[in-house]
Amino acid sequence: MGSASNHLVTPSAVDSSSPLPSNLTQDDLKKLAAYKAVEYVKSGMVVGLGTGSTAKHAVSRISELLREGKLRDVIGIPTSTTTHAQAVSLGIPLSDLDSHPVVDLSIDGADEVDPSLNLVKGRGGSLLREKMVEGASKKFVVIVDESKLVKHLGGSGLAVPVEVVPFCCDFTRGKLEELFKEAGCTAKLRVTSGGETAPPAVTDNGNYVVDLYLERDMGDLEAASEKILRLPGVVEHGMFLGIATTLIVAGKAGMTVRDRFG
């Protein structure tokens, strides 16, 4: 198994003793995890607002609590233009890292979570802004349904995203594929809907995304991270190593909360 930031990860206060109804959908589970995470939000906090199908529930819940007066003076820092638009529509006051370089708490989903709370994020294309905001946070609460748990990053067979500059992007794609050929890596430039001949998908930062598909464990994650970031043309990758402080997982057997210590 790949290793990075192998802090002790232990269960803490959880709701796992109470099984959840069997008819819950995946989106229901995401919503339960999101609502649990918002319990960490306190009045006066600067809160990083994540991106994606799970995080949107947390943003909606924060807005609801603000309207009810149960939360006050919360400032949100969105991690994408999509989340920015959602927060504006819900009346959440917003700012950015220039004005608030230290974030009290961030809440976001993940595409994969390994046993050491390392993450894959960015299949929605917002990995750079997510990593900037969540890396500046005192506490980062990750919310997932149980389908996102993996034995090692890349273990789902789905993409490990890398944001790259458009210039000579196929050259960069080839270099990324070569880096992890021993892991059976196939690197593909992400395109918009419409098949392989469609134009490249563009991030909020005007960059492209190369998706790495791995047949085997890539090994030491810190070493893998360094190799990726040393490549000219790479902006950032979607492995979030040692950043998450709390994981909330909603599954049919119940809800679990795990904290990182050390």
Distance CA 120, CA 52 (A): 13
Distance CA 140, CA 244 (A): 5
130 is catalytic: yes
Q: Compute CA distances 237 → 36, 76, 163, 204, 234, whole Å.
A: 28, 24, 6, 15, 8
| Cα 93 → chain centroid | 22
Query: In the numeric block, which tokens belong to residue 186?
Result: 């196939």
Q: Compute CA distances 213 → 116, 158, 184, whole Å.
A: 21, 6, 8
Q: Which are the contacts of 134, defined by CB distance < 8 A and separation ≥ 6?
A: 48, 50, 79, 103, 106, 108, 140, 240, 243
- Is 49 in contact with 61 (CB distance < 8 Å)? no
SS3 208: strand
Specify the DSSP class assigned to residue 18: S
Q: One of 130, 134, 163, 236 is an active-site residue; which one?
A: 130
Catalytic residues: 130
